[in-house]
Amino acid sequence: GNSVTQMEGPVTLSEEAFLTINCTYTATGYPSLFWYVQYPGEGLQLLLKATKADDKGSNKGFEATYRKETTSFHLEKGSVQVSDSAVYFCALSDSRNTPLVFGKGTRLSVIA
């Protein structure tokens, strides 16, 4: 079945550091890939997505590229801020119209 594996947290970074959160997936067909973010006390919200191989999703300074050859969708940001402290979830949607499959989440803490 479909699955998503993302790096274990928590990740603690200083402000302005470079961020990478790894995400790899297993899926049949050609899934769409997503990163969701959950700020403290809130529900999840879409951060970015990519629907086909080599697509790059970007938003709020975050980027992720859909790499079919390595089945990966790593999240990156060049310079994190304290306000980026949150839990980040990688997810996929199978092209056969099944619900999202989420990774277990990675908690990011950014300290000033």
Partner 1 sequence: NAGVTQTPKFQVLKTGQSMTLQCAQDMNHNSMYWYRQDPGMGLRLIYYSASEGTTDKGEVPNGYNVSRLNKREFSLRLESAAPSQTSVYFCASSYRGETDTQYFGPGTRLTVL
Binding site for partner 1 (CB under 8 A): 32, 34, 42-46, 49, 51, 89, 93, 95, 97, 99-100, 102-105
Cα–Cα dist 103/112, whole Å? 28
Minimum distance of partner 1 from residue 61's CB (angstroms): 19
Residue 50, classed as helix, strand or coil, is strand
Report the C-alpha gap between 37 and 87 in whole angstroms.
6
Shortest reach from residue 57's CB to partner 1, in Å: 11
Residue 101: partners with Cβ closer than 8 Å, 6 or more residues away:
2, 3, 4, 91, 92, 93, 94
Residue placing its CB nearer to partner 1 in the complex, 43 or 69: 43
Based on CB atoms, which residue is closest to partner 1, 2 or 85?
2
Considering the complex, what minimum distance in angstroms separates the CB of residue 69 from partner 1?
21
Our CB check for partner 1 shows the closer of 70 and 97 to be 97
What token pair was written down for 108?
């990011």
